[in-house]
Structure 1
Amino acid sequence: MRIAHLFDHAHALPTIPKVVHQLIQSFNHEEVSIDEIASQITADPVISAKLLRLANSAYFHVTHKVSTVDDALRMLGFVMVRNLVVGSGLAGGFKATPSLNLNQFWSYCLGTAVTARWLGRLAGENTDLCFTVGLTHAIGELVMHAAMPEQMLFMDRTCSPIDPRRAEMETQSFGYHYADVGAELARRWHFPDEITEAIRHVPSPLEDESGGKVAAIVHLAAWRARVSEYRLGSEELVASYPGDVGQRLGIAPTWLPELAAEHAHLKPKAVMPPLEELLGGLQDLLH
């Protein structure tokens, strides 16, 4: 099945609230009415309640209670509020399929997003952009599962949807992989080119000739999230580390304690806290 034909399937796209559609459209508009966005979010009691719960989580370290959508926009910024609302809408918008554990999938994506934001700060990149790409980088998997469930069931039995070999195996079977599909979805939703192209190159960031760092950051973050989901031990963690990607970013392999122990001769610039601590309550985004 060609990529374009995937989107002809009735369930290929998520069922998401109107306000999430409107926020997705805002990615490609420089002039956005914050007041209008606030009123749209407020009009959806489920989304606004979840936003306030997330805004008051430990992740954001707010000094005052966030009581309204206006408070959230003022204290977290429009881009992060949009990330939270869109992420929440997408997490609840795709239907479960027999071979895909949606809870694990979105837990992995959220772990990738918060790690990418942390690494983005370390690499001097746009942290909100890193978070957005991290959260959405694997969404093509959901489109593929919805459009061709039988083929994906067979694929899932061979290789987990979050396995690092997945893109190569999908390319061998279909001629494209989940990141190609995710980039096409982002294009159809009018995401900015920098998001679309970053999503496309996450599986193989060293092949990205544009020289952008976001795909490499998310690739590294996805590795860290995968380590957590698979509960890899220290030896497996060290052995699987994509050092060539870290080198491309100029990030020394000392940002995790397990890696720092293997490179004691290098002085750590910063060490990432445990992923559970870094998530800081953002898991509510998935429920």
Structure 2
Amino acid sequence: MHADDDDRLIEAILASGVKIPPMPAALLEVLALAGDDRAGAREYARAIARDPALTGAVFRVVGSPVLGLRVKVDSLDKAVTLLGLATTLAVVRSEGMRVALHDSALDVVMHTLWRRMGTVAELVVAALRVLRPRGVREDIAYQAGIFHDCGVAVLCRRDPAYAQAFKAGHWPDLAALDAERHASHAVVGLMVARNWQLPAEVAETIRHHHDSHPDLLAEPVRSLAVLVRLAGHLLDGGAGADDPAWPLWQPLAEAMCEPAGLALAELEAELLGRLAG
């Protein structure tokens, strides 16, 4: 699909009443530091510490067993240093969006959705650290993972069918749900990405992570989308769910493993071990 087609879809979605929430003030304060070359971990930690939700998100990510840092973190300064400034920004941006999209009537659904996207983001970063593909930054990869299905959070607030799909006890087939509802969570996610000024590679990954011809995607979007799909595939497999689109993506995942001298099964075992640990 061309950019013009996406723009027309976005116009139609906006006309239907879908609204993208603005960034909260606490997040804007932290993001403002990105333009200050003098700002370091201490300045970031000071700004983040003013908001309990942002603080909790940073500590939660830095302590994740999936990332495998295995270092005692007793201060926000240290947490920011370990994550790096760029990844810290990605973490607080995702937490800001989670707060902005909160809906008390959808607590269970939103918790399920953000927990899944958080785990995907951590698996993407863990895989990236093993494979080290050229041209893929860790903070960009984290954002691709944490935001890949953010359009679903918006649609759940607009269309009860999306929220209802999560109550079956398993991760829904979002592509099938989109087709049924004549919607696209990927396009809505693209709208969110543009409004929240996410990096272009992240926006494109959100838009194209359900493409039927992933081999046609340009780098680094193809690598990012493959990592996102791999993470989701592992989670679906662990939950006993089907992943009918995986055969389209598996050859690309295998090709990404080759330069690292790994078989895809070895990478999957490594990532599953981290999930269990």
Q: Would the TM-score normalized by the shorter structure come out above 0.5? A: yes
Amino acid at match of 2:150: I
CA distance in 1 between counterparts of 2:15 and 2:170 reads 21
Match of 2:247 among 243, 248, 252: 243
2:213 is paired with a residue whose SS is helix
Deviation at 1:158, TM superposition (A): 11
1:163 has 2:172 as partner: yes
CA distance in 2 between counterparts of 1:245 and 1:50 reads 31
Match of 2:275 among 275, 278, 281: 278
* 1:171-190 pair list within 5 angstroms: 171=179, 173-174=181-182, 176-190=183-197
1:138 has 2:145 as partner: no
1:109 has 2:117 as partner: yes
Q: Tell me which protein shows more helix as a share of its residues.
A: 2
1:79 is paired with a residue whose SS is helix
TM-score (structure 2 length as normaliser): 0.72
CA distance in 1 between counterparts of 2:270 and 2:232 reads 14
Tell whether the 8 Å contact from 2:18 to 2:154 is kept in structure 1 after alignment: no
Identity %: 18
Deviation at 1:32, TM superposition (A): 7.7
Higher RCO, Cα 8 Å, sep 6+: 1
1:103 is paired with a residue whose SS is helix
CA distance in 2 between counterparts of 1:71 and 1:217 reads 28
* 1:1-287 pair list within 5 angstroms: 2-5=12-15, 9=19, 12-13=20-21, 17-23=24-30, 33-34=39-40, 36-48=43-55, 51-52=58-59, 54-58=61-65, 59-63=67-71, 65-93=72-100, 94-97=102-105, 101-121=109-129, 122=131, 124=133, 125-146=136-157, 148-150=158-160, 152=162, 156=165, 162-164=171-173, 166-171=174-179, 173-174=181-182, 176-204=183-211, 206-207=213-214, 208-211=216-219, 212-228=222-238, 231-232=239-240, 240=244, 242-249=246-253, 250-251=255-256, 254-256=263-265, 268=266, 271-274=269-272, 277-278=274-275
Unaligned runs of 5+ in 1: 257-267, 281-287
Deviation at 1:130, TM superposition (A): 1.9
Q: What is the number of equivalent residue pairs in this alignment?
A: 253
CA RMSD after TM alignment = 3.7
CA distance in 1 between counterparts of 2:16 and 2:270 reads 38
Deviation at 1:157, TM superposition (A): 8.2
Tell whether the 8 Å contact from 1:55 to 1:76 is kept in structure 2 after alignment: yes
Deviation at 1:31, TM superposition (A): 5.2
Amino acid at match of 1:272: E
Amino acid at match of 2:39: S
CA distance in 2 between counterparts of 1:158 and 1:68 reads 38
